[in-house]
Amino acid sequence: MGQIVVKFGGSNLKSPADIERSARVAAAYKEPLVVVVSAFSGVTDMLIQGIDEAMLSEHAPDILCSKLETIHESALRLHIQSEAEIGAVMEVLKQRLAQLKKLLMGIHYISAVPDFTRDHIISTGERLSAPIIAAVLRKAGLQAREILPETMGLLTDGTFGNAAADLAVCAERLSSIVTSDITPVVPGFYGITKEGKIAVFGRGGSDYTAAVIARSIQAESLDLWKDVDGFLSGDPRIIQDSKTIPYVSYEEAAELSYFGAKVLHPRTVEPLEQDHIPIRVMNVDQFDGTIRPYTIVGPDREHSCTLKSVAATENMGIIRLEGPGVGSRPGILARATTGLDAAGINISSVITSQTSINLLFHKKDMPRALAVLRSESVPSVVSVESLEDIAIIAVVGDGLRHRPGLAAQVFGSLAEGGINILLTQAGASPVAMYIIVSKEDTAKALKAIHRTIHRG
């Protein structure tokens, strides 16, 4: 019987009562499990805010650690009656909170936050939730035991803030956690550098942790328990008749996750695609005692020749470099991006024409990127302008690759709705096309394109 990796996210842990429900879910499996957990809902945000407050006040670390101890002890006592068990778990939590306090006091006194210190601090929430969830799983009858990423040797590339796992090394090291004797409970969100420091995988990175473990142990599946009905054909907050998509390919899931769908961390599919390990997306709010996936993510097993979904993000901006022939002259793009690379600013995408180069950035990087590009002396570039009130619409489905005329239907639906298209990009992914519109047109564009999806 194959092992299954089960991941419970912060959306499953909004209140102390949610922990017991997650334990019931885990107990319903017949297969041996590895359980990956996120921090309790809101805790990571508290830690991020705590960094800012610690820079200003030497009392802030005490206040934060006291709040966190109260939150986690209350959750523990709600579910565990044995004082011996409570005492053992609280001893672990207090040690970790003491370490957190030292780190926060350190940044207060040096008035700086080194990258590795920040990663250690913001990953504390997972190390606080895991011992509690392990205790509740033991109460539910599982032989659960916390195993830390640093103990199992979950190695990363050492990029603080947005690390990637070393999949080859992880496959060697993590296979040792496969045992029928225990149910490992692993804090998600982070791994370690070769020097032993903590490096996080970015917000939502517990999905990625679970995927790395699933690949390393060649799991039967990765089961993600969320508070949504899997992947939907559109954002239900905007599109009332959106429908659950029973099956999406790895490519389709990656595109939807990157451009707005909050179901998966965008890189979750990376470790799993080569070995064809399926991702099963469940809704914990709909759990009735049976393990029932709403969406399965797997290989491109069939050509549906349709559009699957439309998603949007408003967290991007464009910087446009304009000048005669800038899109065709060799070396201009390289010259323009040298300073960005030196500043550690990521370019999300590039769209070029004969007279302009359009660079897409996350909004948080826009001010720095604009300053860098305006300070560069790039030949032939006569103006550097920014566009920030935009939305990127991702239209996803293998029909774009296999069905002639489908893209034309999408553009036609936008024209019928009176929606102006600022930029488009197609071909970078065979299963997705990207349409950039004014932010004020986001909802109209999503509805118009969804009608095309609904018509099939």
Q: Which residues are annotated as a binding site for substrate?
A: 126
Residue 444 to residue 143: CA distance in whole angstroms: 51
Residue 37 to residue 220: CA distance in whole angstroms: 19
Residues with Cβ within 8 Å of 428's Cβ and at least 6 positions away in sequence, in order, are 349, 434
Burial string for 102-116 (b: 16+ CB within 10 Å, else e) reads ebbebbbeeeebeeb
3-state SS, residue 30: coil
Q: Which residues are annotated as a binding site for ATP?
A: 237, 262-263
Find out whether 33 and 221 touch, Cβ atoms under 8 Å. Answer: no
Bridge partners of 425, per DSSP, are 434
Burial string for 417-455 (b: 16+ CB within 10 Å, else e) reads eebeeebebeeebebbbbbbbbeebbebbbbbbbbbbee
Q: Is 427 left (phi over 0), alpha (psi -120 to 50) or beta?
A: left
For 132, the token pair is 């509690």
User: Does an H or E element contain 21, and which?
Assistant: helix 16-27
3-state SS, residue 320: strand
Nearest to residue 201, comparing CAs of 191, 211, 193, 210?
Answer: 191
User: Does an H or E element contain 117, and which?
Assistant: helix 115-122
SS (H, E, C) 130-150: HHHHHHHHHHCCCCEEECCHH
DSSP string, 190-219: EEE-TTS-EEE--TTTHHHHHHHHHHHTT-
Residues with Cβ within 8 Å of 408's Cβ and at least 6 positions away in sequence, in order, are none
Find out whether 240 and 184 touch, Cβ atoms under 8 Å. Answer: no
Q: Which residues are annotated as a binding site?
A: 126, 237, 262-263
For residue 78, the number of C-alpha atoms closer than 13 Å in the C-beta half-sphere is: 15
For residue 165, the number of C-alpha atoms closer than 13 Å in the C-beta half-sphere is: 35
For 421, the token pair is 């298209």
